[in-house]
Protein backbone atom coordinates (compact mmCIF):
# COMPACT_ATOMS: atom_id res chain seq x y z
CA UNK A 1 0.00 0.00 0.00
CA UNK A 2 2.77 2.40 0.91
CA UNK A 3 4.59 1.53 -2.25
CA UNK A 4 1.54 2.23 -4.36
CA UNK A 5 1.05 5.64 -2.67
CA UNK A 6 4.68 6.62 -3.45
CA UNK A 7 4.19 5.80 -7.14
CA UNK A 8 1.02 7.91 -7.29
CA UNK A 9 2.84 10.85 -5.60
CA UNK A 10 5.64 10.71 -8.16
CA UNK A 11 3.19 10.74 -11.06
CA UNK A 12 1.22 13.67 -9.61
CA UNK A 13 4.44 15.67 -8.97
CA UNK A 14 5.63 15.18 -12.53
CA UNK A 15 2.24 16.18 -13.90
CA UNK A 16 2.14 19.36 -11.83
CA UNK A 17 5.68 20.28 -12.95
CA UNK A 18 4.78 19.79 -16.57
CA UNK A 19 1.62 21.85 -16.13
CA UNK A 20 3.51 24.68 -14.50
CA UNK A 21 6.13 24.65 -17.28
CA UNK A 22 3.49 24.74 -20.00
CA UNK A 23 1.58 27.44 -18.23
CA UNK A 24 4.70 29.58 -17.99
CA UNK A 25 5.46 29.26 -21.70
CA UNK A 26 1.90 30.05 -22.68
CA UNK A 27 1.80 33.05 -20.31
CA UNK A 28 5.02 34.42 -21.75
CA UNK A 29 3.71 34.19 -25.31
CA UNK A 30 0.48 35.92 -24.32
CA UNK A 31 2.30 38.81 -22.62
CA UNK A 32 4.62 39.32 -25.59
CA UNK A 33 1.70 39.43 -28.02
CA UNK A 34 -0.27 41.78 -25.76
CA UNK A 35 2.61 44.24 -25.35
CA UNK A 36 3.31 44.24 -29.08
CA UNK A 37 -0.27 45.13 -29.97
CA UNK A 38 -0.92 47.69 -27.20
CA UNK A 39 -0.10 51.48 -27.00
CA UNK A 40 2.12 52.89 -24.23
CA UNK A 41 0.43 54.66 -21.39
CA UNK A 42 0.67 58.46 -21.59
CA UNK A 43 2.79 59.91 -18.77
CA UNK A 44 2.74 63.60 -19.74
CA UNK A 45 2.61 65.81 -16.68
CA UNK A 46 1.67 62.83 -14.50
CA UNK A 47 2.47 63.76 -10.91
CA UNK A 48 4.77 61.56 -8.88
CA UNK A 49 2.91 59.44 -6.30
CA UNK A 50 4.83 57.20 -3.89
CA UNK A 51 3.74 53.56 -3.74
CA UNK A 52 1.63 52.55 -0.78
CA UNK A 53 2.53 49.77 1.58
CA UNK A 54 4.91 49.02 4.39
CA UNK A 55 7.93 50.44 2.51
CA UNK A 56 6.21 53.46 0.94
CA UNK A 57 7.88 55.93 3.27
CA UNK A 58 11.42 54.75 2.47
CA UNK A 59 12.90 56.61 -0.53
CA UNK A 60 14.82 53.58 -1.77
CA UNK A 61 11.59 51.75 -2.36
CA UNK A 62 9.67 54.52 -4.13
CA UNK A 63 9.18 54.67 -7.88
CA UNK A 64 11.09 57.63 -9.47
CA UNK A 65 8.92 60.27 -11.15
CA UNK A 66 8.64 59.98 -14.92
CA UNK A 67 10.64 62.43 -17.10
CA UNK A 68 8.36 65.11 -18.55
CA UNK A 69 7.70 64.78 -22.25
CA UNK A 70 7.61 67.85 -24.55
CA UNK A 71 4.13 67.99 -26.05
CA UNK A 72 3.91 67.78 -29.81
CA UNK A 73 3.68 71.20 -31.49
CA UNK A 74 3.54 72.78 -34.88
CA UNK A 75 6.43 75.22 -35.43
CA UNK A 76 8.67 76.71 -32.71
CA UNK A 77 6.08 77.10 -29.95
CA UNK A 78 8.02 75.86 -26.95
CA UNK A 79 10.51 78.45 -25.51
CA UNK A 80 9.40 81.04 -28.04
CA UNK A 81 8.86 84.81 -28.16
CA UNK A 82 5.96 86.41 -29.99
CA UNK A 83 6.46 90.05 -31.07
CA UNK A 84 3.55 92.43 -31.44
CA UNK A 85 4.01 95.64 -33.43
CA UNK A 86 2.13 98.88 -33.04
CA UNK A 87 0.87 99.90 -35.53
CA UNK A 88 0.26 96.35 -36.68
CA UNK A 89 -0.03 96.97 -40.43
CA UNK A 90 2.26 98.66 -42.95
CA UNK A 91 4.18 101.59 -41.45
CA UNK A 92 5.25 104.65 -43.42
CA UNK A 93 8.94 105.52 -43.40
CA UNK A 94 9.79 108.09 -40.72
CA UNK A 95 7.05 106.90 -38.37
CA UNK A 96 7.60 105.31 -34.96
CA UNK A 97 7.21 101.58 -34.38
CA UNK A 98 6.67 100.10 -30.93
CA UNK A 99 7.51 96.41 -30.51
CA UNK A 100 6.54 94.30 -27.51
CA UNK A 101 8.00 90.87 -26.74
CA UNK A 102 5.61 88.20 -25.40
CA UNK A 103 7.57 85.14 -24.23
CA UNK A 104 5.63 81.91 -23.59
CA UNK A 105 7.95 80.99 -20.70
CA UNK A 106 9.19 83.12 -17.77
CA UNK A 107 12.47 84.98 -18.43
CA UNK A 108 13.10 85.97 -14.80
CA UNK A 109 13.70 89.67 -15.48
CA UNK A 110 16.52 89.14 -17.99
CA UNK A 111 17.75 91.91 -20.29
CA UNK A 112 16.41 91.89 -23.84
CA UNK A 113 18.47 92.31 -26.97
CA UNK A 114 16.65 93.96 -29.85
CA UNK A 115 18.19 94.12 -33.31
CA UNK A 116 17.20 94.22 -36.96
CA UNK A 117 18.39 91.54 -39.33
CA UNK A 118 21.81 92.51 -40.61
CA UNK A 119 23.13 93.67 -37.24
CA UNK A 120 21.37 97.00 -36.67
CA UNK A 121 21.16 97.30 -32.90
CA UNK A 122 18.18 99.14 -31.42
CA UNK A 123 19.24 101.41 -28.58
CA UNK A 124 17.03 102.69 -25.79
CA UNK A 125 15.51 99.58 -24.24
CA UNK A 126 16.61 96.39 -22.60
CA UNK A 127 13.05 95.52 -21.60
CA UNK A 128 10.04 93.89 -23.16
CA UNK A 129 9.20 96.98 -25.23
CA UNK A 130 11.24 99.11 -27.62
CA UNK A 131 10.32 102.07 -29.84
CA UNK A 132 12.30 102.93 -32.97
CA UNK A 133 12.18 104.85 -36.25
CA UNK A 134 10.94 103.15 -39.41
CA UNK A 135 13.43 103.22 -42.29
CA UNK A 136 12.56 102.12 -45.80
CA UNK A 137 15.72 100.06 -46.27
CA UNK A 138 14.61 97.80 -43.39
CA UNK A 139 11.40 96.79 -45.13
CA UNK A 140 11.15 92.99 -45.27
CA UNK A 141 13.85 92.45 -42.66
CA UNK A 142 13.36 90.63 -39.39
CA UNK A 143 13.09 92.39 -36.06
CA UNK A 144 14.60 89.94 -33.55
CA UNK A 145 14.15 89.88 -29.76
CA UNK A 146 16.35 87.64 -27.58
CA UNK A 147 16.50 87.05 -23.82
CA UNK A 148 18.00 84.24 -21.74
CA UNK A 149 18.45 81.98 -24.76
CA UNK A 150 14.95 82.32 -26.19
CA UNK A 151 14.09 84.47 -29.17
CA UNK A 152 11.47 85.41 -31.68
CA UNK A 153 11.17 87.55 -34.77
CA UNK A 154 8.71 89.40 -36.93
CA UNK A 155 8.95 90.77 -40.49
CA UNK A 156 8.86 94.58 -40.81
CA UNK A 157 6.50 96.13 -43.33
CA UNK A 158 7.69 99.68 -44.08
CA UNK A 159 6.46 101.75 -46.99
CA UNK A 160 7.93 104.76 -48.80
CA UNK A 161 7.03 108.30 -47.90
CA UNK A 162 4.76 109.94 -50.48
CA UNK A 163 6.94 111.59 -53.12
CA UNK A 164 10.13 109.62 -52.31
CA UNK A 165 12.31 109.36 -55.45
CA UNK A 166 12.38 105.96 -57.08
CA UNK A 167 15.97 104.90 -56.43
CA UNK A 168 16.96 101.30 -57.29
CA UNK A 169 19.66 101.44 -54.59
CA UNK A 170 17.39 103.06 -52.02
CA UNK A 171 17.25 100.03 -49.76
CA UNK A 172 21.06 99.64 -49.76
CA UNK A 173 22.18 103.12 -48.70
CA UNK A 174 22.75 104.51 -45.24
CA UNK A 175 20.14 105.60 -42.79
CA UNK A 176 20.59 108.88 -40.91
CA UNK A 177 19.88 108.84 -37.18
CA UNK A 178 21.02 112.24 -35.91
CA UNK A 179 23.40 115.18 -36.26
CA UNK A 180 24.92 117.05 -33.33
CA UNK A 181 26.88 120.32 -33.34
CA UNK A 182 30.12 119.95 -31.35
CA UNK A 183 33.23 122.01 -30.50
CA UNK A 184 31.17 125.06 -29.61
CA UNK A 185 32.50 127.40 -26.91
CA UNK A 186 30.37 129.04 -24.25
CA UNK A 187 31.53 132.42 -25.52
CA UNK A 188 33.26 133.89 -28.58
CA UNK A 189 35.23 137.13 -28.80
CA UNK A 190 35.16 139.63 -31.63
CA UNK A 191 38.18 138.95 -33.84
CA UNK A 192 38.01 135.20 -33.28
CA UNK A 193 36.57 132.34 -35.28
CA UNK A 194 33.73 129.85 -34.93
CA UNK A 195 34.48 126.34 -36.17
CA UNK A 196 31.53 124.03 -35.46
CA UNK A 197 31.99 120.30 -36.10
CA UNK A 198 28.97 118.10 -36.91
CA UNK A 199 28.79 114.57 -35.55
CA UNK A 200 26.59 112.32 -37.66
CA UNK A 201 25.12 109.08 -36.38
CA UNK A 202 23.99 106.76 -39.15
CA UNK A 203 23.92 103.15 -40.23
CA UNK A 204 26.27 102.29 -43.08
CA UNK A 205 28.17 104.68 -45.37
CA UNK A 206 27.65 108.41 -44.84
CA UNK A 207 29.90 109.70 -47.62
CA UNK A 208 26.98 111.29 -49.44
CA UNK A 209 25.80 113.32 -46.45
CA UNK A 210 25.34 117.00 -47.29
CA UNK A 211 25.29 119.88 -44.83
CA UNK A 212 23.63 123.25 -44.64
CA UNK A 213 24.56 125.85 -42.02
CA UNK A 214 22.23 128.69 -41.15
CA UNK A 215 22.62 131.69 -38.86
CA UNK A 216 19.29 133.25 -37.94
CA UNK A 217 17.69 131.43 -40.85
CA UNK A 218 20.22 132.61 -43.48
CA UNK A 219 22.29 130.01 -45.32
CA UNK A 220 25.97 130.78 -44.60
CA UNK A 221 27.83 127.60 -45.61
CA UNK A 222 27.54 124.18 -47.24
CA UNK A 223 30.89 122.95 -45.87
CA UNK A 224 30.95 119.97 -43.52
CA UNK A 225 33.19 121.88 -41.07
CA UNK A 226 32.86 125.60 -41.79
CA UNK A 227 34.87 128.46 -40.27
CA UNK A 228 33.13 131.74 -39.50
CA UNK A 229 35.05 134.93 -38.72
CA UNK A 230 33.55 136.91 -35.86
CA UNK A 231 33.88 140.51 -37.03
CA UNK A 232 31.43 142.12 -34.60
CA UNK A 233 28.68 141.32 -32.08
CA UNK A 234 25.79 141.14 -34.54
CA UNK A 235 25.61 137.34 -34.11
CA UNK A 236 25.33 137.53 -30.33
CA UNK A 237 22.18 135.58 -29.42
CA UNK A 238 21.83 134.26 -32.99
CA UNK A 239 20.82 130.65 -33.68
CA UNK A 240 23.35 128.50 -35.51
CA UNK A 241 21.61 125.56 -37.20
CA UNK A 242 23.07 122.54 -38.98
CA UNK A 243 20.91 120.47 -41.33
CA UNK A 244 22.30 117.11 -42.48
CA UNK A 245 20.75 115.28 -45.43
CA UNK A 246 21.27 111.70 -46.60
CA UNK A 247 19.15 109.89 -49.14
CA UNK A 248 15.94 111.70 -48.33
CA UNK A 249 16.54 111.64 -44.58
CA UNK A 250 16.97 114.99 -42.83
CA UNK A 251 18.20 115.65 -39.30
CA UNK A 252 19.10 118.96 -37.68
CA UNK A 253 20.60 120.50 -34.55
CA UNK A 254 20.92 124.09 -33.40
CA UNK A 255 22.67 126.15 -30.72
CA UNK A 256 22.66 129.79 -29.59
CA UNK A 257 25.86 131.83 -30.08
CA UNK A 258 27.26 134.10 -27.39
CA UNK A 259 29.63 136.82 -28.66
CA UNK A 260 31.15 139.86 -26.98
CA UNK A 261 33.83 142.49 -27.48
CA UNK A 262 37.37 141.81 -26.30
CA UNK A 263 38.64 143.13 -22.98
CA UNK A 264 42.27 143.99 -22.13
CA UNK A 265 42.40 141.03 -19.72
CA UNK A 266 41.20 138.49 -22.30
CA UNK A 267 43.71 135.87 -23.49
CA UNK A 268 44.78 135.77 -27.11
CA UNK A 269 42.30 134.13 -29.45
CA UNK A 270 43.09 130.66 -30.80
CA UNK A 271 42.38 130.46 -34.52
CA UNK A 272 41.00 127.41 -36.27
CA UNK A 273 43.88 126.96 -38.72
CA UNK A 274 47.15 125.19 -37.88
CA UNK A 275 50.51 125.11 -39.68
CA UNK A 276 52.65 122.01 -40.24
CA UNK A 277 56.28 122.69 -40.98
CA UNK A 278 59.73 121.49 -39.81
CA UNK A 279 58.01 118.26 -38.61
CA UNK A 280 56.13 120.34 -36.05
CA UNK A 281 52.52 121.45 -35.65
CA UNK A 282 51.96 125.15 -34.90
CA UNK A 283 48.77 126.61 -33.48
CA UNK A 284 47.86 130.16 -34.49
CA UNK A 285 46.77 132.82 -32.00
CA UNK A 286 45.53 136.36 -32.50
CA UNK A 287 46.31 139.24 -30.15
CA UNK A 288 43.95 142.06 -29.27
CA UNK A 289 45.67 144.30 -31.83
CA UNK A 290 44.99 141.71 -34.56
CA UNK A 291 48.54 140.37 -34.78
CA UNK A 292 48.70 136.64 -35.48
CA UNK A 293 51.57 134.54 -34.08
CA UNK A 294 52.52 130.85 -33.87
CA UNK A 295 52.81 128.38 -30.98
CA UNK A 296 54.73 125.13 -31.51
CA UNK A 297 52.46 122.57 -29.85
CA UNK A 298 53.46 119.06 -30.98
CA UNK A 299 55.43 116.86 -33.31
CA UNK A 300 53.91 116.18 -36.73
CA UNK A 301 54.10 112.42 -36.32
CA UNK A 302 53.34 111.76 -40.00
CA UNK A 303 56.38 113.70 -41.20
CA UNK A 304 59.25 112.61 -38.97
CA UNK A 305 61.29 113.81 -36.00
CA UNK A 306 61.82 117.56 -35.51
CA UNK A 307 65.27 119.14 -35.09
CA UNK A 308 66.28 120.95 -31.91
CA UNK A 309 68.07 123.59 -33.97
CA UNK A 310 65.19 124.28 -36.38
CA UNK A 311 62.04 125.41 -34.58
CA UNK A 312 61.36 128.04 -37.26
CA UNK A 313 62.53 129.11 -40.72
CA UNK A 314 65.40 131.16 -39.27
CA UNK A 315 66.92 132.45 -36.02
CA UNK A 316 64.47 135.35 -36.03
CA UNK A 317 61.57 132.89 -35.61
CA UNK A 318 59.81 133.50 -38.92
CA UNK A 319 57.39 130.87 -40.23
CA UNK A 320 56.30 131.45 -43.80
CA UNK A 321 53.52 129.09 -44.85
CA UNK A 322 51.27 128.70 -47.89
CA UNK A 323 48.56 126.14 -48.45
CA UNK A 324 46.06 126.63 -51.26
CA UNK A 325 44.70 130.14 -51.00
CA UNK A 326 45.98 130.56 -47.44
CA UNK A 327 49.25 132.33 -46.72
CA UNK A 328 50.76 133.01 -43.32
CA UNK A 329 53.81 135.11 -42.48
CA UNK A 330 54.03 134.74 -38.69
CA UNK A 331 56.60 134.53 -35.91
CA UNK A 332 57.04 131.84 -33.28
CA UNK A 333 56.32 133.30 -29.83
CA UNK A 334 55.58 130.22 -27.67
CA UNK A 335 56.93 126.69 -27.44
CA UNK A 336 54.76 123.89 -26.05
CA UNK A 337 51.11 123.62 -25.03
CA UNK A 338 50.09 126.12 -22.38
CA UNK A 339 48.44 123.45 -20.21
CA UNK A 340 51.61 121.33 -20.30
CA UNK A 341 49.78 118.06 -20.86
CA UNK A 342 52.72 116.60 -22.79
CA UNK A 343 56.22 117.30 -24.04
CA UNK A 344 56.52 119.02 -27.41
CA UNK A 345 58.02 115.85 -28.89
CA UNK A 346 59.17 112.50 -27.58
CA UNK A 347 62.08 112.35 -30.00
CA UNK A 348 64.36 115.04 -31.40
CA UNK A 349 67.15 115.10 -33.96
CA UNK A 350 70.37 116.77 -32.88
CA UNK A 351 71.52 117.70 -29.39
CA UNK A 352 71.75 121.53 -29.45
CA UNK A 353 68.64 123.66 -28.92
CA UNK A 354 68.33 127.07 -30.57
CA UNK A 355 65.52 129.29 -29.29
CA UNK A 356 64.60 131.88 -31.98
CA UNK A 357 64.73 135.58 -31.09
CA UNK A 358 60.93 135.93 -31.35
CA UNK A 359 60.13 133.36 -28.63
CA UNK A 360 58.69 134.93 -25.46
CA UNK A 361 57.55 131.88 -23.53
CA UNK A 362 58.58 128.22 -23.11
CA UNK A 363 55.50 126.50 -21.72
CA UNK A 364 55.13 123.87 -19.04
CA UNK A 365 56.92 120.53 -19.74
CA UNK A 366 57.83 121.64 -23.28
CA UNK A 367 61.12 119.68 -23.29
CA UNK A 368 60.34 117.38 -20.36
CA UNK A 369 62.72 114.40 -20.13
CA UNK A 370 64.52 114.96 -23.47
CA UNK A 371 67.60 112.78 -23.13
CA UNK A 372 69.03 113.86 -26.51
CA UNK A 373 69.27 117.51 -25.41
CA UNK A 374 72.82 118.49 -24.33
CA UNK A 375 73.28 122.18 -25.16
CA UNK A 376 71.23 125.37 -25.29
CA UNK A 377 73.21 127.77 -27.47
CA UNK A 378 70.71 130.56 -28.09
CA UNK A 379 67.96 131.90 -25.86
CA UNK A 380 66.93 134.82 -28.04
CA UNK A 381 66.44 138.32 -26.71
CA UNK A 382 62.64 138.31 -26.19
CA UNK A 383 62.29 135.41 -23.76
CA UNK A 384 60.27 136.37 -20.68
CA UNK A 385 59.17 133.11 -19.07
CA UNK A 386 60.42 129.53 -18.72
CA UNK A 387 57.49 127.67 -17.16
CA UNK A 388 57.22 124.82 -14.69
CA UNK A 389 59.26 121.73 -15.53
CA UNK A 390 60.07 123.06 -18.99
CA UNK A 391 63.43 121.17 -18.98
CA UNK A 392 62.74 118.82 -16.08
CA UNK A 393 64.93 115.70 -15.99
CA UNK A 394 66.82 116.46 -19.22
CA UNK A 395 69.62 114.52 -17.56
CA UNK A 396 72.16 115.05 -20.37
CA UNK A 397 71.66 118.80 -20.61
CA UNK A 398 75.09 120.02 -19.50
CA UNK A 399 75.60 123.49 -21.00
CA UNK A 400 73.16 126.41 -20.92
CA UNK A 401 74.04 129.83 -22.32
CA UNK A 402 73.43 132.72 -19.92
CA UNK A 403 69.82 133.86 -19.69
CA UNK A 404 68.78 137.03 -21.55
CA UNK A 405 68.04 140.17 -19.57
CA UNK A 406 64.42 139.98 -20.76
CA UNK A 407 63.76 136.82 -18.67
CA UNK A 408 61.44 137.48 -15.69
CA UNK A 409 60.14 134.07 -14.51
CA UNK A 410 61.66 130.61 -14.12
CA UNK A 411 58.99 128.16 -12.98
CA UNK A 412 58.97 125.41 -10.42
CA UNK A 413 61.49 122.60 -11.11
CA UNK A 414 62.17 124.12 -14.54
CA UNK A 415 65.72 122.65 -14.71
CA UNK A 416 65.58 120.13 -11.85
CA UNK A 417 67.41 116.92 -12.73
CA UNK A 418 69.63 118.49 -15.42
CA UNK A 419 73.39 117.98 -15.25
CA UNK A 420 74.67 121.60 -15.51
CA UNK A 421 78.21 121.04 -14.24
CA UNK A 422 79.71 122.25 -17.55
CA UNK A 423 77.73 125.49 -17.33
CA UNK A 424 79.80 126.76 -14.37
CA UNK A 425 77.62 129.82 -13.67
CA UNK A 426 74.30 131.49 -14.61
CA UNK A 427 73.32 135.12 -14.15
CA UNK A 428 69.81 136.09 -13.03
CA UNK A 429 68.66 139.68 -13.67
CA UNK A 430 65.39 140.57 -11.93
CA UNK A 431 64.10 137.02 -12.14
CA UNK A 432 61.49 135.29 -9.99
CA UNK A 433 62.87 131.77 -9.41
CA UNK A 434 60.37 128.99 -8.65
CA UNK A 435 60.57 126.18 -6.11
CA UNK A 436 63.47 123.78 -6.69
CA UNK A 437 64.05 125.29 -10.12
CA UNK A 438 67.73 124.23 -10.12
CA UNK A 439 67.63 121.40 -7.61
CA UNK A 440 69.98 118.47 -8.39
CA UNK A 441 71.61 120.30 -11.30
CA UNK A 442 75.25 120.44 -10.19
CA UNK A 443 75.36 124.18 -11.04
CA UNK A 444 78.56 125.66 -9.59
CA UNK A 445 77.59 129.34 -9.24
CA UNK A 446 74.44 131.49 -9.40
CA UNK A 447 74.98 135.22 -9.90
CA UNK A 448 72.04 137.12 -8.45
CA UNK A 449 71.34 140.65 -9.71
CA UNK A 450 68.64 143.29 -9.24
CA UNK A 451 65.31 142.14 -7.78
CA UNK A 452 65.86 138.43 -8.34
CA UNK A 453 64.03 136.35 -5.72
CA UNK A 454 64.66 132.78 -4.64
CA UNK A 455 64.73 130.71 -1.45
CA UNK A 456 66.73 127.96 0.12
CA UNK A 457 66.25 124.72 -1.77
CA UNK A 458 65.83 126.33 -5.20
CA UNK A 459 69.51 125.53 -5.87
CA UNK A 460 71.78 122.68 -4.80
CA UNK A 461 73.27 123.15 -1.32
CA UNK A 462 76.71 123.17 -3.00
CA UNK A 463 75.82 125.91 -5.50
CA UNK A 464 77.73 129.10 -4.73
CA UNK A 465 75.43 132.13 -4.52
CA UNK A 466 77.04 135.43 -5.56
CA UNK A 467 75.02 138.64 -5.12
CA UNK A 468 75.87 141.56 -7.33
CA UNK A 469 74.32 145.01 -6.91
Last residue of a domain, one of 260, 277, 301: 260
Give me the tens of pLDDT residue by residue for the chain, a chain 469 residues long. Answer: 444 444 444 444 444 444 444 455 445 544 444 444 444 444 444 443 444 444 444 444 444 444 344 344 334 445 788 999 999 888 887 788 999 998 888 877 678 888 887 656 665 567 888 888 887 778 888 899 888 888 899 999 888 766 555 554 444 456 788 899 988 888 998 888 899 999 988 776 677 889 999 999 999 999 999 989 898 999 999 999 999 998 778 999 999 999 999 888 888 888 888 899 999 999 999 988 889 999 999 998 888 899 999 999 999 999 999 887 788 899 999 999 888 777 888 889 999 999 999 999 999 999 999 989 999 987 778 999 999 999 999 999 999 998 999 999 999 999 999 999 889 899 999 999 999 999 989 899 999 999 999 998 899 888 999 998 7
pLDDT score, position 163: 56
Q: Specify if 72 maps to a domain.
A: no
Q: Specify if 118 maps to a domain.
A: yes
pLDDT score, position 289: 83
Q: Specify if 17 maps to a domain.
A: no
Looking at the structure, do residues 249 and 334 belong to the same domain, yes or no? no
Full domain range(s) for residue 149: 81-159
Q: Specify if 115 maps to a domain.
A: yes
Q: What is the CATH number of the domain that holds 374?
A: 3.80.10.10
Looking at the structure, do residues 433 and 365 belong to the same domain, yes or no? yes
**Cα separation values, 200 from 3, 272, 387, Å:** 118, 21, 40
Q: Specify if 52 maps to a domain.
A: no
Looking at the structure, do residues 300 and 385 belong to the same domain, yes or no? yes
Looking at the structure, do residues 274 and 403 belong to the same domain, yes or no? yes
pLDDT score, position 165: 52
Looking at the structure, do residues 320 and 401 belong to the same domain, yes or no? yes
Looking at the structure, do residues 287 and 149 belong to the same domain, yes or no? no
Looking at the structure, do residues 155 and 138 belong to the same domain, yes or no? yes
Overall domain count for the chain: 3
Q: Specify if 76 maps to a domain.
A: no
pLDDT score, position 160: 76
**What's the whole-model pTM score?**
0.56
Looking at the structure, do residues 101 and 199 belong to the same domain, yes or no? no
Amino acid sequence: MAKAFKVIKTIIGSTVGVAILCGGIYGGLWVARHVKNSKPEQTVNKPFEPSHGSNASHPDHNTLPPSPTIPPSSGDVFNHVDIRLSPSGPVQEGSKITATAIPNVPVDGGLWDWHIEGGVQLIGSKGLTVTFDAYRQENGKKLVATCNGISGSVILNITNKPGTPSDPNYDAVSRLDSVTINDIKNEYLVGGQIQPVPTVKAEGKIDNTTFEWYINGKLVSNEEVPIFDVVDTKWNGATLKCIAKLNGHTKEDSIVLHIRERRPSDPDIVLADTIKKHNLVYKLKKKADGTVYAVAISQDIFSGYPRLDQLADNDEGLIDYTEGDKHYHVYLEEIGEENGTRALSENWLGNALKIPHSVKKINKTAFFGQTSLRYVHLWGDSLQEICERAFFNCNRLSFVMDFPKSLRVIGKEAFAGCDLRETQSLTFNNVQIGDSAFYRTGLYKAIIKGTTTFKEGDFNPATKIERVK
